[in-house]
Amino acid sequence: MGGGFTRLPDGSMVVAVGLPAPVGGRRIRVLVHAGNRARALTRLRNLGLRSVYLRGNAHPPTPDEVTAVLCHPDGLVWRGSLDDETESWHPIGALLRLAT
């Protein structure tokens, strides 16, 4: 799954990106809340996800995904099983622990 973005009424953005999982060979979906798209991608790159790019807006975040990222204090969450609606969103720290 690709990525996309949604502009919020206050002018900030929620960016969704599909990335390969650090373990397991599947894909994950990462959501970032930031002031603009460039800042959202910079937040991910600063965490060590260096090859993060957003090409187009083919798969923007759904309203449920926007709610999930806005309710998280860091504004940065991920989910591994995109087909399983019962899986909850995880803080980005859990993903970084998996990678090490």
Are 70 and 33 in contact, with CB atoms under 8 Å apart? Answer: yes
- Residue 17: the pLDDT is 92
Count of domains in the chain?
Answer: 1
CB 56, CB 1: distance < 8 Å: no
What pLDDT is attached to residue 100?
Answer: 54
Segments forming the whole domain that contains residue 17 = 4-99
Query: What are the per-10-residue average pLDDT scores of the chain (100 residues)?
Result: 89 91 78 94 86 84 93 90 76 70
- State the SS3 of the chain: CCCEEEECCCCCEEEEEEEECCCCCCEEEEEEEECCHHHHHHHHHHCCCCCCCCCCCCCCCCHHHHHHHHHCCCCEEEECCCCCCCCCCEEHHHHHHHHC
- Predicted model pTM: 0.85
What pLDDT score was predicted for residue 99?
A: 55
pLDDT at 40: 92
